[in-house]
Amino acid sequence: MIKAVLDTNILVSSIFWEKGNPHKVAELALCKKIKVFTSAEILMELEKVLRRDFDEPKEKIQQQITLVLEYATVVAATKNVDVIKADSDDNKILECAIASGSDYIVTGDRHLLDIKEYEGVKIVKAKDFVEIIENIKK
C-alpha cells in the first residue's frame, strides 16, 4: 500500500473544499486505499491554521483533528532535517515522511515541491497524487 504524508495545506484544503483534489486524497485515506502518516507537529500546525486563518471554534477544530486521526497514523520524527532554509517549518513534513517510511509527500507548498524528492520520498501536488493512485488501480 502506498504510504504518504499530507502537508498541512492539503489537510486544510481537504476540509474546506470538498470538490478539490486534497479532499479526494483524504477520501482515499478514509477508504484505506492509501496509508497516511502525520506527526504531533503537523497536527499542532493544523490546529493553529484553523484557529488563526479560519477562526474555527475549538470544538470544530477538535472534530477535524479527530477525523484526520481516523485515517492517519501519528509518528514521531526519528531524525531532524534542515533542508528547507526559506521556511524551516516545512522540515517537519520531511521528518514525518522519513520516520514513517512514506513513498510520497502530498503538498501545495512550493518550498517542498521544488525539492521534488528527498531520501527516496517523492514530493507531489494533490492532483498528481490522485492520478498516480488512479493509474495504480487500473
Give the whole-number percent of the chain exceeding pLDDT 70: 99
With 90 as the cut, is the pLDDT of residue 75 above it?
Answer: yes
Average pLDDT over residues 61-70: 96
Query: Is the pLDDT assigned to residue 23 strictly greater than 80?
Result: yes
What integer best gives the mean pLDDT of the chain? 95
Which domain covers residue 13, as residue numbers? 3-133
User: Phi and psi at residue 42, in whole multiples of 5°?
Assistant: -65, -45
pLDDT at 137 over 70: no
Looking at the structure of the chain, the number of domains it has is 1
Alpha carbon distance 50, 33 (integer Å): 27
**Cα distance between residue 46 and residue 26, in whole Å:** 15
138 inside domain: no
**Please, what's the largest Cα pairwise distance for the chain?**
42
Residue 66 inside a domain? The answer is yes
pLDDT of 27 strictly over 80: yes
In this structure, what CATH number is given to the domain that contains residue 51?
3.40.50.1010
Residue 78 falls inside a structural domain: yes
DSSP state of 105: E
> Band of the pLDDT at 136, cuts 50, 70, 90?
confident
Region 15-34: mean pLDDT is 95
Output b/e per residue, 46-72; b: 16+ Cβ within 10 A. bbebbeeeeebeeeebeebbeebeebb
> Residues 77-122: pLDDT tens digits?
999 999 998 889 999 999 999 999 999 999 999 999 999 999 999 9
Does residue 67 sit within a domain?
Answer: yes
Q: What does the pLDDT average to over 36-65?
A: 96
Contact yes or no for 79/60 (Cβ under 8 A): no
Residue 41 in any domain: the answer is: yes
